[in-house]
Structure 1
Amino acid sequence: MSEVGDLTRFGRVDADGTVYLKNSAGERAIGSWQAGTPEEGLAHFARKFEDLVTEVDLIAARLNSDSADVEQASAQLRKIGEGLGEAAVIGDVDALSKRVDDLAEHAEARVSEFKAAKEAEKAEALAAKEALVAEAEELSGREGQWKATGERFSAMVDEWKSIHGVDRKADQKLWRRFSAARDAFTRRRGAYFSQLDSERKVYAAKKEELIKRAEELADSTDWGPTADALKGLMTEWKEVGRLAPDAEQKAWKRFRAANDKFFDARSAVFSARDAEYENNLKEKEVLLQQAEAIDIDADPKAAQQKFREIQGSWGEIGPVPRKAHAKTQRRLRKVEDALRDAMDSAWRKVPVEDNPLLKQMRQQVQEAEEKLERAKADGDAKRVKKAEEELASKKKFLELAEAAK
């Protein structure tokens, strides 16, 4: 508290107890003191002044806080400043008034900053909600991605609730647009899945039919046609729309099991057959080596006999693998062609009178002549004509054979 000597600078107590405040405007009666000495009276009103100073100090401290309610502080300073002209206090009111004015000016500046920030926040909040509305309206017409879009709408609702500061009227208007977009999406999604459910019932019936047909073929041993039929069913399966994930997986498992049963059985049979064919190939390789080792030039007839024996064994052996079939046949045919050439050459060297083929052909001509004579004796014109044609044909071949010699 200020000393009494100091207080007399700012006030005095008259002989009749009237208390006066001294300031730059002069003196102003602020009350009456009858309860004690003039010094005690000045001290009493000085304490009231110090209460005002304390209140101003507290307001000043709040103004320096980022969380201060600057509008409330400004109002309090304005009230204090307006009341100082009539305040019943003793103290440096001029200094306090100047400090209050300075703080009020600072508070007004803070209020302006606060309002500008509020307006900026309000504009930002409005822009954020307008952006959500625009996104919602765009999403409401999007095809597909139903799950992701639904999740995005849920997240957008949470975002909407976290945005504050938009005035009630604008907020309600924007919310109506947002809700309308969300409702439109919900209706379209519902219609889509309703249609999808109907389509999936058709798909399910079709796939059940394909499964049944595959299961009917699973035990078939008609390997080629059945494999083609199952491949056709697979093509049909791929053309049918998909079911719900769990249902699709179960249906595919059954369909695939039927296919696997057939193809596994076929693979087992083909593996056994391939093993048998490989063994046949080994046996035919031995025969080919024997055939290729025949000395044809030394004795064509003996070679021919040996080759016929090899051919007989060859025919008794079953098929070889497809990839080796052509090669083995070419090797065997090569020996056969060489043997035929050798036999033709040997045949040409035989004297005409000893050639068995020519003997056979002359015998056939003689028989044809006898047949013609019998037909003429019987007087059967039809048989005669036929016998003459046969005789002419056989004579022609005989002439060609004799000319070739």
Structure 2
Amino acid sequence: MSEPQAPADFGRVDPDGTVYVISGGTERSVGQIPDSTPEEAMAFYVRRFENLAAEVTLLESRVAAQAMSPEEAKHAIASAKTNVTDANAVGDLDSLAKRLDALTELLPAQVEARKAQRAEQNAATIASKEAMVEEAETLSQGDDWRGGVDRFRVLLEEWKALPRVDRTTDNELWHRFSSARTQYTRRRKAHFSDLNTLRDSAKAEKEAIIAEAEPLASSTEWGPTSAAFRDLMQRWKAAGSARRADDDALWGRFRAIQDQFFDARTAAQSAVDGEQAKNLAAKQALVQQVTADLEGVTDVDQAKGIHREFLEKFNGLGYVPRGAMREIDSKVRSIGDKVAALEAEEWRRTDPEARKRAEDTVKMFEDQIAKLQADLDKAEAKGDSRGVKDATKSIETYTSWLDQARETLSEFTR
């Protein structure tokens, strides 16, 4: 393998200091350096060649890496080739020219690759913009009035960051995107305009409610006023929302009015609860006392007197807590029922008509038994066993009934 030629091998120096280079099969002068040795003159023009070679090497690396567009590379190669062809330098200029020609041959493939890349990029850009347009059109029909604004802002920034595609497609997509954004903006403005109207209406309604509530704050009609406040609260909720600052201020006023009334009601109720608790304790003590007093009492007048005195004291004590009313009333009714039962029993025992009926019943059974006894005597005298048996059985039955009737009659004589 032959040794590579040095740059100086492609030139010579005349005794007068003129330096020549061999390029394209011909020799041409590249310059003269007087008052210098041939070696110094040659070294000067070799350095020029080496600089050119470095530029070509750098250009090769940039073209290979596609660090510039094919068009830029074409101009750079042409410029470099002109520099090499006309270079006042000593070295293998033909080799540099061939290397530049080889670079030129790479450009058509790069042009096609760039076209394919650009087409792919355009397709991706169009797809991205179409997706953004579709999202924008969906947003334009929605009612996300806060998030939609932010999303349109993001979409617009993303749109600006994308490269343009062919003018017709780009203009068409932009027109759709811009129209969607405009439509959304108009609908949003209309929404908030309507919302402001509703908020103004809500504010007016709530101010009217507050005006109605203010006179109620000092009311002591706890039941009706509580119901009135419930109605006002329902109206407040139905009125909707005013602007945030107005709504907060109005609610603060309305709540203060309610608190004034309900705090007063709570204080009054606490006082009532304390009084009613005392009443309950006193009534419970009375119930226990009257229950003990009536124990064993059979005299109706005595029982009625005890009961009457109990009721006078009981009714004079006033209300008890609502939760205890049923139990205490049940006990009072039980006491009344007991006295009423004694009275009914007394009436039953002393009723003249009932006594007469009891006496008549006893007389009837006695007469019937006497008649049956006569029948028995006759049957025995005749030896009528069947008649004896029937009469005996009937006498036993009527005797049992007579005993019961006499027991009933005896109760009227106790």
TM-score, with structure 2 as normaliser: 0.69
Sequence identity percentage:
37
Residues 32 and 227 of structure 1, relative CA distance in 2, 3 Å threshold = closer
- Map 1:370-385 to 2 at 5 A: none
- Map 1:142-221 to 2 at 5 A: 142-143=142-143, 145-166=144-165, 170-221=169-220
**Higher alpha-carbon deviation: 171-180 or 133-142:** 171-180
Residues 9 and 253 of structure 1, relative CA distance in 2, 3 Å threshold = closer
Q: Which SS does the other structure have where 1:21 is aligned?
A: strand
Provide the rounded CA distance (Å) in 2 between the counterparts of 1:12 and 1:216: 120
The Cα shift of 1:97 comes to 3.9
Residue 158 of structure 2 aligns with an amino acid whose one-letter code is E
Corresponding residue number in structure 1 for 2:320: 320
Residue 150 of structure 2 aligns with an amino acid whose one-letter code is E
Q: Tell me, which stretches of 5 or more residues in structure 2 are unaligned?
A: 356-411
Equivalent pairs, count: 347
Residues 60 and 283 of structure 1, relative CA distance in 2, 3 Å threshold = same
Residues 47 and 112 of structure 1, relative CA distance in 2, 3 Å threshold = farther
Corresponding residue number in structure 2 for 1:367: none
The Cα shift of 1:115 comes to 4.8
The Cα shift of 1:282 comes to 0.6
Q: Which SS does the other structure have where 2:26 is aligned?
A: strand
CA deviation string 1:140-185 (max 9, x = no partner): 2222x21221222223333333333545665454434333322222
Q: Which SS does the other structure have where 2:22 is aligned?
A: strand
**Higher alpha-carbon deviation: 232-241 or 115-124:** 115-124
CA deviation string 1:23-58 (max 9, x = no partner): 6xxx33545888889x78977875654443232123
Provide the rounded CA distance (Å) in 2 between the counterparts of 1:44 and 1:181: 70
- Whether the aligned pair in 1 keeps the contact of 2:48 and 2:89 (CA below 8 Å) is yes
The Cα shift of 1:13 comes to 8.9
Provide the rounded CA distance (Å) in 2 between the counterparts of 1:20 and 1:337: 147
- Whether the aligned pair in 1 keeps the contact of 2:133 and 2:177 (CA below 8 Å) is yes
Provide the rounded CA distance (Å) in 1 between the counterparts of 2:20 and 2:349: 172
Residues 308 and 7 of structure 1, relative CA distance in 2, 3 Å threshold = closer
Residues 94 and 329 of structure 1, relative CA distance in 2, 3 Å threshold = same
Provide the rounded CA distance (Å) in 1 between the counterparts of 2:257 and 2:118: 71
Residues 166 and 338 of structure 1, relative CA distance in 2, 3 Å threshold = same
Corresponding residue number in structure 1 for 2:26: 28
Residues 206 and 22 of structure 1, relative CA distance in 2, 3 Å threshold = closer
Corresponding residue number in structure 1 for 2:129: 129
Residues 200 and 84 of structure 1, relative CA distance in 2, 3 Å threshold = closer
Provide the rounded CA distance (Å) in 2 between the counterparts of 1:18 and 1:82: 20
Provide the rounded CA distance (Å) in 1 between the counterparts of 2:272 and 2:8: 131
The Cα shift of 1:111 comes to 5.2
CA deviation string 1:6-30 (max 9, x = no partner): 6686467999x9967366xxx3354
- Whether the aligned pair in 2 keeps the contact of 1:121 and 1:165 (CA below 8 Å) is no
Corresponding residue number in structure 2 for 1:279: 278
Corresponding residue number in structure 1 for 2:62: 62
Provide the rounded CA distance (Å) in 1 between the counterparts of 2:271 and 2:30: 130
Provide the rounded CA distance (Å) in 2 between the counterparts of 1:178 and 1:7: 64
Residues 98 and 189 of structure 1, relative CA distance in 2, 3 Å threshold = same
- Map 1:238-277 to 2 at 5 A: 238-277=237-276
Q: Tell me, which stretches of 5 or more residues in structure 1 are unaligned?
A: 356-404
The Cα shift of 1:351 comes to 8.4
Provide the rounded CA distance (Å) in 2 between the counterparts of 1:229 and 1:300: 53
Corresponding residue number in structure 1 for 2:53: 53
The Cα shift of 1:242 comes to 1.4
**Higher alpha-carbon deviation: 225-234 or 314-323:** 225-234
- Whether the aligned pair in 1 keeps the contact of 2:300 and 2:342 (CA below 8 Å) is yes
Residue 147 of structure 1 aligns with an amino acid whose one-letter code is R
CA deviation string 1:215-235 (max 9, x = no partner): 222222222222222212222
The Cα shift of 1:284 comes to 0.6
Residue 190 of structure 1 aligns with an amino acid whose one-letter code is K
Residues 34 and 313 of structure 1, relative CA distance in 2, 3 Å threshold = closer
- Whether the aligned pair in 2 keeps the contact of 1:30 and 1:88 (CA below 8 Å) is no
- Whether the aligned pair in 1 keeps the contact of 2:31 and 2:88 (CA below 8 Å) is no
Residues 334 and 97 of structure 1, relative CA distance in 2, 3 Å threshold = same
Residue 306 of structure 2 aligns with an amino acid whose one-letter code is K
Q: Which SS does the other structure have where 1:279 is aligned?
A: helix
Corresponding residue number in structure 2 for 1:360: none
CA deviation string 1:34-93 (max 9, x = no partner): 8889x7897787565444323212313434667555642343224545886787765434
CA deviation string 1:279-313 (max 9, x = no partner): 11110100110121122435433232122111110
Residues 45 and 335 of structure 1, relative CA distance in 2, 3 Å threshold = closer
- Whether the aligned pair in 2 keeps the contact of 1:296 and 1:303 (CA below 8 Å) is no
Corresponding residue number in structure 2 for 1:372: none
**Higher alpha-carbon deviation: 341-350 or 184-193:** 341-350
Residues 214 and 67 of structure 1, relative CA distance in 2, 3 Å threshold = farther
- Whether the aligned pair in 2 keeps the contact of 1:60 and 1:103 (CA below 8 Å) is yes
Corresponding residue number in structure 2 for 1:289: 288
Provide the rounded CA distance (Å) in 2 between the counterparts of 1:67 and 1:214: 80
**Higher alpha-carbon deviation: 234-243 or 133-142:** 133-142
- Whether the aligned pair in 1 keeps the contact of 2:45 and 2:89 (CA below 8 Å) is yes
The Cα shift of 1:125 comes to 3.5
Task: Please give the root-mean-square deviation of Cα atoms over the aligned residues, in Å.
Answer: 3.9
TM-score, with structure 1 as normaliser: 0.71
Q: Which SS does the other structure have where 1:146 is aligned?
A: coil
Residue 28 of structure 1 aligns with an amino acid whose one-letter code is T
